[in-house]
Amino acid sequence: MILFITQFFYKNHVLFHYFFYNFNLPKNENMKKLILVRHAKSDWPEETEDFDRPLADKGLKDAMNMSRFMKSNDISIDHFVSSPAVRALNTCKIFNQTYQLNVSTEDKLYNPSERNFESVIYDLDDSVSSVALFSHNNGISNFANSISEDIFHFPTCGVAGFEIDCNSWSEFDGAKKKLLFFYEPGKI
């Protein structure tokens, strides 16, 4: 029975999000939200450096669909921080067409280690309650796995949201972290 319920919610991400996000009480409104976004599907034209790879047509479509899906499901975000690589930054810009937020770039999110993510998080202003970080694999999957008991392998344009039990981003390392959602473009 438990296996059936788990498989049902895994296959029905919208229901999982609604159930988990809306009925997991009590909520502490002072908690921070961390959203990790892997760049959308990219292309690799001949004689193009890795940093300059553009988004493929599928990536453009997936990023637009994912951003609209998240906004329509009331996923609130205060700030975007992106790797400066073209494919990540363009994914972020597409999300920003939906959200209309402040965007900053951070070199540490290109070819990142787990420590790079933590460094970016520690530098966040505490007025930011919810942040989305746009980055790359394998770093983004490794970082998500380091802060969660769930196992992640981010597909392109995959998104994971976590609730961080802290009032200041400087408390991130020792704070309790809880997965709120994990979305894949092919399953929304």
Contacts of 13 (CB under 8 A, 6+ apart): 181, 182, 183, 184, 187, 188
Q: Are 95 and 132 in contact (CB under 8 A)?
A: yes
Per-residue pLDDT of the chain (188 residues; tens, 9 = 90+): 444 444 444 445 444 444 444 444 344 457 999 999 999 999 989 999 999 999 999 999 999 999 999 999 999 999 999 999 999 999 999 999 999 998 999 999 999 999 999 999 999 999 999 999 999 999 999 999 999 988 888 999 999 999 999 999 999 999 999 999 999 999 99
Which pTM value belongs to this model? 0.84
Which of 29, 31, 36, 30 lies closest to 147, judged by CA?
36
How many whole angstroms from its chain centre is CA 44?
23
Give the pLDDT of residue 3.
Answer: 44
- Give the residue extent of every domain in the chain: 32-183
CATH homologous superfamily, domain 32-183: Phosphoglycerate mutase-like (3.40.50.1240)
Consult the annotation and say whether 68 binds a ligand: no
* Class of residue 155 by CB neighbours under 10 A (exposed 0-12, middle 13-18, buried 19+): middle
- Amino acid identity, residue 105? T
